Amino acid sequence: MSSENFLSRLTEVAADTEALLDRLLGPAPLEGERDRPGRLMAAIRYASLGGGKRFRPFLVVESAALFGVPRPQALMAGAALECVHCYSLVHDDLPSMDNDDLRRGRPTAHKAFDDATAILAGDSLLTYAFDILSRPETHPSADVRVKLVMALARASGLGGMVGGQILDLGAEGRFPDLPKPQGLGEVETLQAMKTGALIRFGCMAGAILGQAGDDRLRALERYGAAVGQAFQIADDLLDIEGDAATVGKQTGKDAAAGKATIVGVLGIAKSKERLKALVDEASSALSVFGARADLLKVAAKFVAERQT
Ligand code: GRG
């Protein structure tokens, strides 16, 4: 399995996710909705369409393929995950969080609209994710849908991404009652929550959709944990070594903000060694699937070497 294969499959999932989100985020109100206000729809569509690698939906689609899950179902779960991801980017870019002007090579949502509209667009994307997961189109079994809802809620919320985000802000010294993370272990925990939890969910979603046994679910969880950490280290290295035009957002911000990063603790050379070890760990976690998981193994390598 080559990296060209991986890139063409990623591009296919990105195109399918774009088309699906475009349909799901149409103007017509659904049963139970009164209206879809135009300004809010415009901000939601701005934040979620026309950009992004769609790496998280790719993880859902490819992990689901290991269990023969119909692709339209996997794409629905992937679209739900992407909605949570896009909401997190909109809120993360706000002046009270990371205060960024550029995202995906374009003005951030609050710059293109205004803070209040961006906050509400993020809120809508978050709740819409669970609307998508709860539809029979995502899976005919209500039991599977509830498992997906619970897993995504936990990955996104206080013990997952949002919890990681407050620890991250605390690491900048913003809150007197929230001590800065000390040492590698605490920084790893923060990042496993902030960035890792959604990536781990993406990998586990395929096993949930496929009603897989616990051993296979745990194998994908282990893979997702390694990929999540590799993703964050690569992101931190891009912040130091990348250029803003290629990365599509401002670089050099982590050190300036005093962020807690693995690269900050280990240094650049050791972090690059760590990346290689995480790619190996990701591959070995998938051994139970044999060659059928080769694409996911290449994906782990891509994450570690990514330039955007
Ligand atoms: C505000 C609740 C809340 C959470 C924010 C995701 C996040 C938590 C912050 C984003 C800040 C950041 C730079 C995190 C590092 C990793 C990351 C999520 C990068 C962006 O994801 P990509 O590269 O982006 O997949 P695209 O644009 O391709 O979707």
Residue closest by Cα to atom 20 of ligand 1:
89
pLDDT of amino acid 108 = 98
pLDDT of amino acid 3 = 77
pLDDT of amino acid 307 = 78
What does the pLDDT look like over 103-144, one tens digit per residue?
A: 999 999 999 999 999 999 999 999 999 999 999 999 999 999
- State the pTM of this model: 0.95
CA distance 152 to 244: 31
What does the pLDDT look like over 195-228, one tens digit per residue?
A: 999 999 999 999 999 999 999 999 999 999 999 9
257 versus 236: which is more confidently predicted? 236
Ligand 1-lining residues (CB < 6 angstroms): 52-53, 55, 85, 88-89, 91-92, 97, 104, 161-162, 165, 194-195, 232, 235
Q: Among positive and negative, which fits the CA dihedral 299, 102, 162, 128?
A: negative
Residue closest by Cα to atom 18 of ligand 1:
195
C-alpha distances out from residue 248 to 1, 147, 223, 255, Å: 28, 35, 27, 18
